[in-house]
Amino acid sequence: GRPFTETQEPVAVNAAAGITPASPDGFADEDSFAQVMEGYASTQQLSDNPLLMRKAPQAYVDQQTGQRFVVPRRGTLGPPTAEREVLGQRRRRTGWRIIWGLLSLATVGAVLLIAAYQRNLQQQLITTQALVADVQAQMAVVSRANRALSLRAEDPTLQGTLLIRGQQALLSISGLQPLPRAQHYQLWLRTGDGNYRAAAVLPLEQAQATHWFFVELPTDSVQVIGAGVSIEAGTGSAQPTLPMVVESGS
- Give the pairing of strands 159-165 and 147-152: antiparallel
Residue 142, pLDDT > 80, answer no
How far apart are the C-alpha atoms of 97 and 80, rounded to whole Å?
A: 26
Q: What's the whole-model pTM score?
A: 0.45
Cα-Cα-Cα-Cα dihedral of 130, 132, 137, 139, to 10°?
Answer: 160
Q: Is 190 helix (H, G, I), strand (E, B) or coil?
A: strand
> Nearest Cα to 197, choosing from 166, 172, 219?
219
Q: Where are the alpha helices (DSSP H) in the chain?
A: 30-39, 43-47, 50-53, 81-144
pLDDT bin (cut points 50, 70, 90) of residue 44 is low
> What single-letter amino acid sits at 27?
F
**Between 74 and 64, the higher pLDDT residue:** 64
> Nearest Cα to 170, choosing from 178, 161, 179, 181?
161
Asked if CATH classification 2.60.40 holds for the domain at 147-248, the reply, yes or no, is: yes
Q: How many CB atoms lie within 10 A of CB 53?
A: 18
How far apart are the C-alpha atoms of 22 and 3, rounded to whole Å?
A: 9
How far apart are the C-alpha atoms of 154 and 152, rounded to whole Å?
A: 7
- pLDDT recorded at residue 230: 93
The DSSP bridge partners found for residue 150 are: 161
Segment 84-136, tens digit of pLDDT = 677 777 777 888 888 888 888 888 888 888 888 778 777 776 766 665 566 55
Percent of the chain whose pLDDT exceeds 70? 59
Buried b (16+ CB within 10 A) or exposed e, 153-175: beeeebbbbbbbbbebbbbbbeb
Backbone angles phi, psi at 211, to 5 degrees: -110, 140
Segment 212-224, tens digit of pLDDT = 888 888 766 667 8
